[in-house]
Amino acid sequence: MTGDVGMLLADAAATEAIGARIAARLRPGDIVALEGALGMGKTTLARGVLAGLGFAGEVPSPTFAIVQPYAPPEVRLPVWHVDLYRLETPGETAELGLEEALEDGALLVEWPDRLDARQLAGALRLSFQDAANGGRRLTWQAPASWEERWPPR
């Protein structure tokens, strides 16, 4: 895994652009884990991924729904946008059926620390922090399965 590498994201448009670049590389079975405090850009990046996959509608935060699925023909690849903020233990995620989504699609997971570490094996882990310029700093850990795909150029 590569880690402690990062890029600056000046604004929401830059965050969505990175999301679109991830979408171009996303494959069935992929998990993109989105880490960071409230308001750091996790949902904004997910919006960029979904737009990059062809979704033309509004992408709400799935905080209350927990899981928001997107399927063809609205997107080229089935994706579940998952927000685990309201869950307290990894055991609560078992009933969500996340493995099912990975059979032919991908997961975008906000608050992945609520998952069991085994569920995150092979995930592209993206972390958002405040940057000095008012934007965000995006850092990552990329597993071997993302070696040829990350960082997006």
123 touches 32 (CB < 8 A): yes
Q: Which domains does the chain have, with CATH numbers?
A: 11-96+105-116+128-142 (3.40.50.300)
How far apart (Å, rounded) are the C-alpha atoms in residues 122 and 125? Answer: 9
- Calculate mean pLDDT across residues 28-47: 93
Q: What are phi and psi of 23, to 5 degrees?
A: -55, -40
State pTM to two decimals.
Answer: 0.91
Residue 1, pLDDT score: 44
pLDDT at residue 22 above 80? yes
Contact by Cβ (8 Å): 1, 141: yes
DSSP secondary structure, 27-84, as one string = -TT-EEEEE-STTSSHHHHHHHHHHHTT--S-----TTTSEEEE-TTSSSS-EEEEE-
- pLDDT grade for 99, boundaries at 50, 70 and 90: confident
pLDDT, tens digit (0-9, with 9 covering 90-100), for 101-144: 899 999 999 999 888 778 888 899 999 998 877 889 999 999 99
Which three-class secondary structure state does DSSP give residue 124?
strand
The string of pLDDT tens digits covering residues 44-76 is: 999 999 999 999 999 988 888 899 999 999 999
pLDDT of residue 18: 94
